[in-house]
Amino acid sequence: MTTDNRDDNAPAEWDSGLPKGRRIGGIVWSLLFLLVPVLGVATFIVAPWFDHWLPKDISVHGRDIDGLFYFILALTGVVFVATEMLLFWFMWKYDAAAVRGPAKYIHGSHTLEVVWTIIPAATMLFLGIYQMNTWADVKMRRPRIAPSAEVVARQFEWRIRYPGRDGTLGTPDDLFVVNDLHVPLDEDFLVQLKSMDVLHSFFLPNLRVKHDAVPGMKQPVWFRATEAGTYDIVCAEVCGWGHYKMKGRVTVESRADFEEWLAGVEARQEATQRGPEDAPPAAED
């Protein structure tokens, strides 16, 4: 027997005794795992081309939120690609069918443990502190204005109340509409959010606003729209069988258009309330 033959046939002391499998197996499996970062990144690159991406942002806060989203996407993207590539590379290289020596007998590395604890810790701490200001802007630093409108969620509609001419909610000149929120352009808009029955969530995708409407609570929600148009209001908290159709629209328009629309609402409401003979049934039912 030649030395070469013995290498292949006689089990070395480090042979596991398990079938090693063929090299092609290791290649196929590691390439399959390589697909994860390749297709993963490709998905995120292709999706925006087909408009499968963040809906158009028309708010001031949205810019910060989207910026943070992209920042985290870049950060996690780098870590994702790096770790998945390592996994692929180790699978490729340390296939038992390809390795010609024993496995490394090593129980760990104190230095590495310290490094890969401190780096993520510092990164996450930075991320945590970095975003606080945006969070405070969106949820804590309420504009010092009277509520611009009250939104009351109920199964399965958004009841909207404007303060009317006196600028105060809860007075006789309040104006009522359903599912049709109008917002003046480039102005802080403060919503007083309530729920009549169960939980709902007031979700304006284009304004990057989401807040749960909780029965028994009166909550402030604010935003500033920067682009005219009509956009969706979505209920984002399951509220019963009709949850999917609890749809509203938010119209962003110039101050003048907004005033005009409000005047129209007032005129219709006045006409309804002052003409008992031809009054349509009350909106309550």
User: Interaction with other proteins in 30-89: which residues (CB under 8 A)?
Assistant: 32-33, 36, 39-40, 43-44, 47, 51-55, 61, 64-65, 68-69, 72-73, 75-76, 79-80, 83-84, 86-87
By CB under 8 A, residue 102 contacts other proteins? yes
Contacting range for other proteins; rule: CB under 8 A; set: 2-10, 23-31, 160-168, 250-258: 23-31
Question: In angstroms, what is the minimal distance from the CB of 89 to other proteins?
Answer: 9
Question: In angstroms, what is the minimal distance from the CB of 161 to other proteins?
Answer: 18
* Touching other proteins, residues 146-185 (CB under 8 A): 155
By CB under 8 A, residue 18 contacts other proteins? yes
* Touching other proteins, residues 115-144 (CB under 8 A): 116-117, 120-121, 124-125, 127-128, 131-132, 134-136, 138-140
What are the C-alpha distances in Å from 137 to residues 27, 131, 132, 188, 215?
51, 10, 9, 12, 25
Would you give the DSSP letter of residue 188?
Answer: E
Number of residues forming the site for other proteins (CB under 8 A): 106
Q: Which candidate, 153, 200, 169, 177, places its Cα nearest to that of 258?
A: 177
- Which residues share a beta bridge with 221? 191
Query: What are the tokens at 28?
Result: 């196929």
Long-range contacts of 217-221 (CB under 8 A, 24+ apart): 218/192, 218/193, 218/194, 219/192, 219/193, 219/194, 220/142, 220/147, 220/190, 220/191, 220/192, 220/193, 221/151, 221/190, 221/191, 221/192, 221/193
By CB under 8 A, residue 217 contacts other proteins? yes
By CB under 8 A, residue 103 contacts other proteins? yes
How far is Cα 13 from Cα 23, in angstroms, rounded to an integer? Answer: 21
* Touching other proteins, residues 196-215 (CB under 8 A): 196-199, 201, 203, 205-206, 208-212, 214-215
Answer for which of 153, 181, 183, 239 binds other proteins (CB under 8 A) is 239
Would you give the DSSP letter of residue 171?
Answer: S
Question: In angstroms, what is the minimal distance from the CB of 278 to other proteins?
Answer: 29
